[in-house]
Amino acid sequence: MRCDEVQPLQGPYLDSELDARTTLEIHRHLKECSECAHIFAEEQMTEEWLKAGLNRGERTVGLWERVERAVIAAGQERLQQSPRPGERRDLIAAISNQLHTSWARSRWVWAGLTAAWMGILLLNATARQTDAMPTVRQPAPSTSEVRFALKQKQLLMVGLAMPTETSSAGRSKTAPPGPRTQRYILNLNT
Amino acid sequence: MSQSAASDTDRFLALLKPIERDLERYCRRLIWEPQEAPDALQNAVMKAFAAFERYSPEASFRAWMFKILTHEAFALNRKHARIARHEFQLEPEELEGLSPAGAPRDQAEHVSSFGGVTENSEPELAAGLRTLTDTERAVLLLRGVGELRYQEIGESLGIPLGSVMGNLFRARQKMRAFLGRSERRKSFLKETGL
């Protein structure tokens, strides 16, 4: 490796971020090149000084005690919010107990409610049946009927495709007014 | 369910404890307003705890926590619009003017003459960090304080690996230039007896 290739890699080299092969090549170069070795040594010294400076200052005990207390409190709150398995079983038992008691107290009310519910379901089912459209079975058309229908269709298509008659001036004749238009004009005149 | 929630809290605190000091150092350096650092830390930790169910044990907890804290600090910096007021960019020409060919040597001399890091170097360091952009500062601190790999830094900040290397290079260059300039100023003042 040349000096201009080695020097830009001094940061990653000193941070041990390079792959083994490149690291070895730089290591070899530094053994041979005293100038690069000097630059790298200085860089390392600066880096160590900077690192030592940045890592000054101790943990503030009071602050971290407060933070840890807050974490524990949040953990306890989370515990209270989530139901325990025993609590869940108790809840299911309480609901079934309540249902059983209310059934024992007012059986007729429950029977009435059940009957009403059944009636609603029955009505719903019958309504669906009546809503369904009856399908009328029609006999299949005969061959002559099909031919006749096709002929009619062809005639209609030819009528539509016919070009309108043009006058000598090249303008197309205006279509004669329909019965409704005639009626409208008559009404206006009168 | 209750046991798992309780063990989640214990597990979270067990993972948090060894990195508390580094998180605090990182936060104090990254955030513009030092008095806001405790709130930023607490907010970040609470957010991390709320999202802990989604945290995968295969991932690095350290990198995950630094990521959340970075977002929190950036949000606070943005909220108070400190960046635009405090941050000033050094142009490449200016950098060259500050750090000629022998800049590393100057810096090495400065380091050796300084005789180690003391409290006196703190204002210089803080002022030097202010010359960096938000991303440059975060990358430098995630490497220097968080000791994260380039890949982890990229994931924390949502930037590609090339950008991590570029930002780190620029951050170190600016810091060297700033500290070199500061040292030259000091020696000048000493020589002139001002």
Can you tell me the ipTM of this complex? 0.70
Dihedral over Cα of B11, B14, B19, B24: its sign: positive
Q: Which two three-digit tokens encode residue A32? A: 């041979």
For residue A122, pLDDT over 70 is answered with yes
Q: Rounded to an integer, what distance in angstroms lies between the CA atom of residue B133 and that of residue B148?
A: 19
Mean local confidence (pLDDT), B73-88: 67
Q: What is the pLDDT of residues B2-35, one digit of tens each?
A: 556 668 888 999 999 999 999 999 998 888 888 8
Minimum mean pLDDT range among A19-33, A78-92, B91-105, B176-190: B91-105
Q: Are B40 and B69 in contact (CB under 8 A)?
A: yes
Dihedral, CA of residue A97, residue A102, residue A104 and residue A108, to nearest 10 = -150
Interchain contact, A42 vs B176, CB within 8 Å:
no
Q: If you search the block for the tokens 């000598």, which residue do you land on?
A: A168
Q: Which two three-digit tokens encode residue A126? A: 């019958």
Q: Which two three-digit tokens encode residue B124? A: 């210089």
Other beta carbons within 10 angstroms of residue B5's beta carbon come to 17
Q: Which two three-digit tokens encode residue A121? A: 């379901």
Q: What is the pLDDT of residues A129-185, one digit of tens each?
A: 665 555 556 677 888 888 899 988 888 888 887 755 544 445 555 555 555 555 544
Q: In chain B, which residue ranges form alpha helices assigned H by DSSP? A: 2-16, 20-30, 37-50, 61-79, 82-86, 92-98, 103-114, 122-130, 134-144, 150-157, 161-192
Q: Rounded to an integer, what distance in angstroms lies between the CA atom of residue B64 and that of residue B58?
A: 11
Q: Rounded to an integer, what distance in angstroms lies between the CA atom of residue B107 and that of residue B183?
A: 8
Identify the closest residue of chain A to B152 by CA–CA distance: A17
Q: Are B73 and B30 in contact (CB under 8 A)?
A: yes
Q: Which two three-digit tokens encode residue A105? A: 């107290």
Minimum mean pLDDT range among A99-108, A113-122, B102-111, B151-160: B102-111
CATH of B2-84, one of 3.30.1370.10, 1.10.1740.10, 1.20.1730.10, 3.20.80.10: 1.10.1740.10
Other beta carbons within 10 angstroms of residue B129's beta carbon come to 20
Minimum mean pLDDT range among A71-80, A159-168, B147-156, B175-184: A159-168
For residue A71, pLDDT over 50 is answered with yes
Taking the CA of residue A123 and the nearest CA in chain B, the distance in Å comes to 47
Interchain contact, B172 vs A50, CB within 8 Å:
yes
- Predicted model pTM: 0.60
Q: What is the pLDDT of residues B49-78, one digit of tens each?
A: 999 888 888 888 999 999 999 999 988 888
Task: List the CATH code of the domain at B88-192.
Answer: 1.10.10.10
**Average pLDDT value for chain A:** 78
Other beta carbons within 10 angstroms of residue A149's beta carbon come to 11
Q: In A16-142, which residue ranges form alpha helices assigned H by DSSP? A: 20-32, 34-54, 61-81, 85-105, 107-131
Residues in chain A closer than 8 A to B141 (CB atoms): 54
For residue B125, pLDDT over 50 is answered with yes
C-alpha distances in Å from residue B194, one per residue of B28, B124, B189 = 33, 19, 5
Contacts of B135 (CB under 8 A, 6+ apart): B157, B159, B163, B167
Confidence of residue A1 (pLDDT cuts 50, 70, 90): confident
Q: Rounded to an integer, what distance in angstroms lies between the CA atom of residue A17 and that of residue B61?
A: 20
Interchain contact, A42 vs B107, CB within 8 Å:
yes
- Tell me whether B5 touches chain A (CB under 8 Å): yes
Q: Are B40 and B82 in contact (CB under 8 A)?
A: no
Residues in chain B closer than 8 A to A43 (CB atoms): 104
Domain ranges of chain B: 2-84, 88-192
**Are domains B2-84 and B88-192 of this chain identical in fold?**
no
For residue A187, pLDDT over 70 is answered with no
pLDDT, residue B100, reads 40
Provide φ and ψ at B99, rounded to 5°.
-125, 85
Contacts of B168 (CB under 8 A, 6+ apart): A11, B136, B139, B140, B143, B150, B153
Q: Which two three-digit tokens encode residue B22? A: 């580094």
For residue A80, pLDDT over 70 is answered with yes
| Nearest CB neighbour to A71, from listed B6, B13, B140 | B13
pLDDT, residue B182, reads 66
- Tell me whether B6 touches chain A (CB under 8 Å): yes
Q: Is A59 exposed, middle or buried (0-12, 13-18, 19+ CB in 10 A)?
A: middle
Largest alpha-carbon pair distance within chain B? 73
pLDDT, residue A46, reads 82
| Nearest CB neighbour to B49, from listed A50, A53, A71 | A71
pLDDT, residue A129, reads 65
Give the rounded percent of residues in chain A with a pLDDT score beyond 70: 76
Taking the CA of residue A43 and the nearest CA in chain B, the distance in Å comes to 7
